[in-house]
Amino acid sequence: MTTIEILEELQSKYFVHPETFDFFKKRAEYGFTKAYFDVPISEARESNLRSTKLFSGSVDFDGTTRELNIPSKDVKDGIPVTVYKPTTCRNDPSIFVYFHGGGNCVGSRAGVDTVCKILSRDAGCIVVNVEYRLAPEFKFPSNHDDVLCVVQWVKGHKEELGGSSRSTVGVGGDSAGGRLAAVVCHEEPCIDYQCAVHLVPDMKFIRGPVLTKQLIDWFIGNYFPNESDKASLRGSPLQNNTESFSKLPPALVMWLILIHSEIMP
């Protein structure tokens, strides 16, 4: 079934917001009809980038944008990041490290460029947009190692990024990027805040109306080398012990999806 057919069927059982329906309808009109698992990975990534750039649009950004490569023992030329600093930047600005989504297989910092510019502009903060390694070329936990490396570097180089020694450091992201941010907060001390958009903190609860089982199986099959990795503390940060949650920084979570696999056929 196509995404539109799935949404039409769901309308008889659930409320589907008109904007959501129109968005997927417009995607189909622009030719985004092939599922990621039906095309080569290079084509899936290109489709994802074209779609995100088309529907995210562009914004005016009054400030500086620069490219850096963060030193890493795992990535020869370093981990690429884009750093945004608005002219309205406050004194001792916060530094927000953002991780894009895409099921650990697609997505890129180019796809969330507009989002990061809006965050930087409207919050008056410095945003670091991270290009972590993707599966299936680099399987779990490669991207975790990348984002942790970047966050640790940021904490030690605040002034170089345009902040100060007093700047707070936060992490966040959407979907897979939100999970990466959640894991960073468990593993790296002294993170000041976290912000996640529709993250999946437990790999046992990842089926829904649009995020179908077939698509999830494709993401998981490409990403996790072993079945047991899904239940690991990095794979499913919700499985961390209760005590560890009491030490986490404040969190803003938007559109958290936890749909048990038995709910959807």
Least Cα distance to 28 among 66, 58, 10, 54 occurs for 54
Confidence of residue 254 (pLDDT cuts 50, 70, 90): confident
Least Cα distance to 86 among 107, 64, 103, 67 occurs for 64
Strand partners, 195: 172, 252
**pLDDT of 243:** 78
Domain extent listing, the chain: 59-254
Whether residue 208 has pLDDT greater than 90: no
Least Cα distance to 177 among 193, 190, 195, 191 occurs for 195
In the chain, the N- to C-terminal Cα span, in Å, equals: 13
Mean pLDDT of 43-57: 95
DSSP H stretches of helix in 57-208: 113-123, 142-156, 176-187
Q: What's the CATH code, domain 59-254?
A: 3.40.50.1820
pLDDT tens string 152-199? 999 999 999 999 999 999 999 999 999 999 999 999 999 999 999 987
| Cβ-Cβ contacts under 8 Å for 74 (sequence gap 6 or more) | 142, 145, 146, 149
**pLDDT of 17:** 78
Whether residue 265 has pLDDT greater than 50: no
pLDDT tens string 217-236? 999 999 999 989 998 999 99
- Between CA 206 and CA 202 the distance in angstroms is 8
**pLDDT of 209:** 59
Q: Is 161 in contact with 126 (CB distance < 8 Å)?
A: yes
Mean pLDDT of 200-227: 81
Least Cα distance to 20 among 203, 180, 198, 219 occurs for 198
Mean pLDDT of 24-34: 88
Strand partners, 130: 81, 99
Mean pLDDT of 64-86: 98
pLDDT tens string 241-252? 877 788 899 999
Whether residue 4 has pLDDT greater than 80: no
DSSP 161-193: GT--TT--EEEEEETHHHHHHHHHHHHSS---E
pTM > 0.85: yes
Whether residue 34 has pLDDT greater than 50: yes
**Crossing angle of the two packed helices 3-10 and 18-29, in degrees rounded to 10:** 160
**pLDDT of 198:** 82
**pLDDT of 214:** 87
**pLDDT of 261:** 33
Mean pLDDT of 79-108: 96
Mean pLDDT of 97-101: 98
**pLDDT of 207:** 56
Q: What is the mean pLDDT of the chain?
A: 90
